[in-house]
Amino acid sequence: MNRRDFFKFGFGGAGLAVGGGLASGADNSSSTPGRSVYSHPRWVKMIPRPKLAVDDNIYSRFNAVNNVFGSFTRYYGEDNRKKLMKESRNKTMKYYLEKRPGYRLEDRALADAAWVISRLGGLNRGTRAWTSKSVRTPEERGVEKYNGSPEEAAKMIKAAARYFGAATIGITILDRRHIHSQERRKQIVFEKAAEPYEDEEKLVIPDKCKYAIALSVQMSLDNLQCSPTAISSAGSSMGYSRCEFLVAGIAQFIRGLGYVAIPSVNDLGSSVAIGVDAGLGELGRTNRLITPEFGPYVRLCKVLTDLPLATDKPINFGLLEFCKICKRCAEACPSNCLSFDDQPSFRVKGEWNNPGHQAWFEDAPKCLAYWQESTSGCSICIPVCPWAKKDKTMIHEIVKAASAKIPALDIFFSTMDEVFGYGRQKDAGKWWSLNLTEYGIDTTQGKG
Ligand code: B12
């Protein structure tokens, strides 16, 4: 029985009845006025605080040097690292000589080229500079700074964010514990300051920067489905370059209104924690944020600001319950780094995790080691997720809506997803012949 027959003769009828009702009757009672530009599907619930708990006695600011990029040698061992790198170089050459699809010169050149804009930015550098000389301030224009209400400002920021390429946008009061304590060997501190600045020892965020704008950018599922090849890496790197453009644009826009803005991609603090607070999605088994609209195939970034903004709420769309049962990402992970625990917990796996928040913590050095083994990074945990669906057909919306409401259906949906072959690795050689959309993404999606 194929997928169409299944829905026609089997579950389809019942599913449409159950899901259709759910999709139309969902509760979204506490949406804020700022959500009028963009809102989640109706089956997504707003909740007062994120579902996963934080232990206030333990949770504090993370030193970025402890993430696996900063301390890989310490976690993996110098000799092991050298061996890994040597094997990776040999394998890379072997794949070139074999002209293996996904690992050829053109594939690797594409992945590198897609990084090109991302490489213009860094913590308080280039496109992510905390201040700008090129901005035309309201003062220079001879007018007052922007003085709309927080609701108007939130609506306006969301419109601008969509214009600059955001898939989804959420706003939250900044929880300072999500900001790194240190980065680039400098302390990151909050001070009573008019402008953000950096000196020899520290990076200073003005106290008045109380708001965080959380932004997601779609990655091309066509690329990610070719993981682990350079074609899938190009999906990540294009996402990064688009994040760079997005945060640079939004920050400059806010400065043009007369306010302070700090653009950030992977630097500065946890984009995932900020995204969860701002209601972009829920934390899943991958220890990453999953959105109701795009599942896991989004990259995240953020902008901190003092522009007063109406805030959004965290969301619940049944993901936590789904992830407890599904485990597809953990099964598919070639490095075996993801947790198989039934429940998320406070038990960290190593110094690379920040203690004090509940999660399915991962054995991160294994993941990064596999990036070398594969020679081209890895995104396998993303396309195998049953929430990663790019064809926003009615049936998928209904399945998602039903899953959000009836956890008992989760195992069924996860199994059927596998049976239908979603998430199965695609041939990277064929990617070059696809009839691609702009940036390889579907911009008609997520229009709430
Ligand atoms: C370092 C890093 C990694 C490391 C691992 C993390 C580590 N512990 O060192 C490596 C290189 C292995 C890695 C791998 C991947 N990463 Co990564 N990674 C990061 C990075 C740069 C920093 C994360 C960090 O500091 N972790 C250290 C501590 C904080 O980890 P932790 O305590 O376990 O907490 C994790 C979550 O629980 C959450 N979090 C942190 N604090 C809090 C607090 C609360 C209250 C909550 C709810 C959540 C939360 O964020 C952390 C993510 O690692 C972020 C960007 C950013 N600034 O957020 C991207 C980021 C998290 N990665 C991302 C992605 C997509 C991936 C990969 C899929 C690779 C890819 N193809 O892109 C894999 C997935 C691996 C997996 N599932 O385990 C995305 C996730 C997007 C999303 N939808 O959530 C991010 C946000 C990058 C981006 N710009 O989009 N990553």
Confidence band, pLDDT 50/70/90 cuts, at residue 120? very high
| CA 67 to ligand 1: nearest atom | 9
Average pLDDT for 99-125: 97
- Decide: 359 in ligand 1 pocket, CB within 6 A: yes
Q: Assess whether pLDDT exceeds 80 at residue 240.
A: yes
Ligand 1 pocket: which of 67, 68, 73 to mutate (most atoms within 8 A of CB): 67
| CA 361 to ligand 1: nearest atom | 33
Question: Which residue, by CA, sits nearest to atom 81 of ligand 1?
Answer: 299
The domain limits of the chain are 21-440
Ligand 1 pocket: which of 270, 290, 336 to mutate (most atoms within 8 A of CB): 270
- Decide: 354 in ligand 1 pocket, CB within 6 A: yes
Distance 422 CA to ligand 1 centre (A): 24
What pLDDT is attached to residue 412? 67
pLDDT tens-place string over residues 138-178: 999 999 999 999 999 999 999 999 999 999 999 999 999 99
pLDDT tens-place string over residues 289-328: 999 999 999 999 999 999 999 999 999 999 999 999 999 9
Distances (CA, A) of 258 to 122, 141, 155: 24, 11, 17
- Decide: 69 in ligand 1 pocket, CB within 6 A: yes
Question: Which residue, by CA, sits nearest to atom 28 of ligand 1?
Answer: 353
Average pLDDT for 383-407: 72
- Decide: 71 in ligand 1 pocket, CB within 6 A: no
- Decide: 387 in ligand 1 pocket, CB within 6 A: no
